Amino acid sequence: METLRFQVVEEAFKKKPLDVKTPSDRPSDYFGKKVFNREKMNKYLPMDVYDKMIDVMENGTRLDYKVADAVAKGMKQWAMENGATHYTHWFQPLTEGTAEKHDAFIEFNGDGGTVEEFTGKLLVQQEPDASSFPSGGIRSTFEARGYSAWDPTSPVFIIDDTLCIPTVFISYSGEALDYKAPLLRALHAVNVAATEVCHYFDPSVKKVTSNLGWEQEYFLVDEGLYAARPDLVLTGRTLMGHDSAKNQQMDDHYFGNIPERVAAFMRELEIEALELGIPCKTRHNEVAPNQFEMAPIFEETNLSVDHNMLLMSIMKRVARKHGFRVLLHEKPFAGINGSGKHNNWSLSTDNGTLLHAPGKTPRENLRFAVFIVETLMGVWRHNGLLKASIMSASNAHRLGANEAPPAIISSFLGRQVSELLDHIENNSLSPRLSPLTTHVETLDIPEIPELLIDNTDRNRTSPFAFTGNRFEFRAVGSEANCASALIALNSAVAEALVNFKKHTDERIAKGETQTAAIIGVLRDDIKACKAIRFDGNGYSDEWVEEAKKRGLDVETSCPKIFEQYLTPESIQMFESLGVMTRKELEARNEVKWDTYTKKIQIEARVLGDLSMNHIIPVATRYQSTLIENVRGMKEIFSSPFFSTEKATQFSARNIKLIEEIAERTSAIERMVEELIDARKQANKIADSHAKALAYHDTVAPKLEEIRYQIDKLELIVDDSLWPLPKYRELLFIK
């Protein structure tokens, strides 16, 4: 009898790539087509209004309602000319996703008819229901009022028939209920602190910008196979499934030919992304089967975060048109690579980058060293907080294996940068800061040109590695909002720069020259943050012990890691920089603990249901077949023509399988009961922190115990009976 699994596998084999219509124009011709960017502003806004908007965007001046009315008028005209009938405030609540409520451009005109209307007030502010989104107790059910407010630094865009306006989301009492508001504050803090430090080297610097280039990894699964896996549908990952005999061990998928159906999906995704101003640059196969990556050109951090959230939404919609489902979970399949979202972070001034080496002069290299070291100081002081910023129930499955960095924050610098810092540290006199060199490698092949070798290698086990002109924060998870990590990182660096300037100014006030003061503080900081520098194998057991000795955070429990947000050092940093208050931090931790609990709770319920209603019935059905087989064989071999010894011999294998199935199904039933009891006990705990700890300690471990038994059954139960698509089908259907 053909099962649903075989039907969906057969349908997946039949699927052909869609005929994606590719625009005849070059990508540069339609880039930003659906974005109200500066070009559109210049066309649709009066010149004085345009100038005021540029001032708002570049210098942070306050926007008044008269200007907002004029902007709304031009924005509405452009939107309606491009088919928009509605508008929405598009924001990023504490759900790792986005939210939107659509309103039409329509009001009564007083004569029984209607008129299209969109005012500055509607552009600038709306009132979502704050109690319906995670608030960590800031807003109760009966306290629903909250506000979304336009972020003019991130351009509005059109999706289908809706004008989408990026906004912050705050409570009635002013606390941030989203990721964008604290991110903007953190970016302001690092701008102010870094600009002041830059003035030691170049007084003309007006602004320092935080830049981000993310690398979005993801899996694609055929939609039919996805629908036949309730665990994928409800949790985003496979809660059971034995390894495929072949997965990624041959290293033949990474950078391999992109499958035809996937290439068609990628082309349509890129077209939509480019029209929305997302500067897609790179696409390729990732290491695991059916795993892929897309990466854009670097952008200003706030805009880059918005673009990543937008891309994840577009990916899901476009994938379904091509018969796929996108999996953004950090570890959807056991035993192979998980998916990350490497955050390439840098700082730049209005006249150049701060982390680029080699510099043209010793003074430029001194500035480079300052910003490298103060970044390390921030990471060292707040390594536990940075780990908390990227940690989640799903990312915990990924970290520490299959090329994902370990759950210990350290920084790899490479030989040349390490030697530069060692030289500054150990030279008692003012060190000579000669330019870092780029190594030239000549191959003994005449046709091949010289290779320019970077001044730093890459360490795939380093969570925070310097890669030439930026740091790569590799520990960020694929479905996370980048803002979480960038709030913590930019705040930590801002605090370090504030302290650097304070200590440098103190030395100058005591009579040291500016250069001597800078080098003196720099030397002290190099020594102080040395513990965070590690160039070795982050996967080794020795590193865990070494990290403990260095005072780095080696905690592995998610609920305990989240506690780093509420340490005195974290609270003091966020409050002193004006990024978040203690109340906001406490609320966010309530959300983190509650979210962790709910994710494990859902996984436990799904696994219990699949175990009792899918796996055990199929296993016992096969067991019954084996029993009938043994009984039949005994009848045949009871004939005088056959010996009892031969009957026993032929039945032995089946009897062994019958016994194993009995043992494993009995173990699963017992473990599911224990899982339910553990969940019930944990649910009695009122405190969200204590409940999350209970789920981590008593519920989560049982999921893996049950999975082990199910995966063993998958190997022995008749393949035609197994109800769920297997890894070999999920990972290799193209």
Given a cut of 50, whether residue 441 has pLDDT beyond it is no
**How many residues in total does the chain contain?**
734
> Half-sphere exposure (CA, 13 Å, Cβ side) for 452?
3
Q: Angle at CA 284, nearest 5°, toward 462 and 454?
A: 45
Segment among 4-8, 75-79, 150-154, 607-611 with least mean pLDDT: 4-8
Q: Read off the pLDDT band of 134 (50, 70, 90).
A: confident
Q: Read off the pLDDT band of 1 (50, 70, 90).
A: very low
Q: What is the pLDDT of residue 451?
A: 40
According to DSSP, the residues that pair with 182 across neighbouring strands are none
The stretch 121-132 carries a mean pLDDT of: 86
Radius of gyration over every alpha carbon of the chain, rounded to an integer in angstroms: 29
Q: What is the pLDDT of residue 654?
A: 84
370 close to 527: Cβ distance less than 8 angstroms: no
Q: What is the pLDDT of residue 407?
A: 80
Q: What is the pLDDT of residue 633?
A: 76
pTM, whole model, 2 decimals?
0.92
Token pair 């002013």: residue: 174
- Residue 549, Cβ neighbours under 10 Å: how many? 8
State how far the Cα of 239 lies from the Cα of 704, in Å rounded to an integer: 8
Segment among 140-144, 170-174, 276-280, 399-403 with least mean pLDDT: 399-403
State how far the Cα of 338 lies from the Cα of 291, in Å rounded to an integer: 9
Q: What is the pLDDT of residue 431?
A: 53
The stretch 236-249 carries a mean pLDDT of: 91
Mean pLDDT, the chain, whole residue set: 89
Kindly report, residue by residue over 188-213, the tens digit of the pLDDT. 999 999 999 999 999 999 999 999 99
Kindly report, residue by residue over 248-306, the tens digit of the pLDDT. 777 777 878 889 999 999 999 999 999 999 999 999 899 899 999 999 999 999 999 99
According to DSSP, the residues that pair with 209 across neighbouring strands are 348
Kindly report, residue by residue over 319-359, the tens digit of the pLDDT. 999 999 999 999 999 999 999 999 999 999 988 888 876 66
Please name the residue ranges forming H helices in 429-513.
482-509
State how far the Cα of 489 lies from the Cα of 64, in Å rounded to an integer: 32
The stretch 157-181 carries a mean pLDDT of: 94
Given a cut of 90, whether residue 405 has pLDDT beyond it is no
Q: How far is CA 79 from CA 49, 108, 160, 679, in A?
A: 18, 20, 11, 50
Structure tokens at 631: 């009984």
The stretch 691-704 carries a mean pLDDT of: 97
DSSP letter at 297 equals -
Torsion, Cα 157 162 166 168, to 10 degrees, reads: 180
The residues, ordered by sequence, that sit 6+ positions from 513 with a Cβ below 8 Å of its Cβ are: none
Q: What is the pLDDT of residue 145?
A: 79
Kindly report, residue by residue over 522-534, the tens digit of the pLDDT. 999 999 999 999 9
Q: What is the pLDDT of residue 4?
A: 67
DSSP letter at 355 equals S
State how far the Cα of 561 lies from the Cα of 553, in Å rounded to an integer: 9
Q: What is the pLDDT of residue 638?
A: 66
Segment among 114-123, 141-150, 158-167, 625-634 with least mean pLDDT: 141-150
Kindly report, residue by residue over 548-585, the tens digit of the pLDDT. 999 999 999 999 999 999 999 999 999 999 999 999 99
According to DSSP, the residues that pair with 222 across neighbouring strands are 324
Given a cut of 80, whether residue 395 has pLDDT beyond it is yes
Q: How far is CA 361 from CA 213, 356, 364, in A?
A: 28, 12, 5
Burial class (CB in 10 A: 0-12, 13-18, 19+), 345: buried
Three-state helix/strand/coil letters over 132-150:
HCCCCCCCCCCCCEEEEEE
The stretch 94-117 carries a mean pLDDT of: 87
Q: How far is CA 458 from CA 353, 463, 465, 536, in A?
A: 20, 11, 7, 11
Q: Which amino acid is at 504?
A: T
State how far the Cα of 409 lies from the Cα of 554, in Å rounded to an integer: 8
Q: Which amino acid is at 42?
A: N
Q: Read off the pLDDT band of 485 (50, 70, 90).
A: very high
State how far the Cα of 7 lies from the Cα of 374, in Å rounded to an integer: 58
Q: What is the pLDDT of residue 12?
A: 64
Segment among 255-264, 646-655, 722-731 with least mean pLDDT: 646-655
Name the percent of the chain lying above pLDDT 90: 69
Q: Read off the pLDDT band of 448 (50, 70, 90).
A: very low
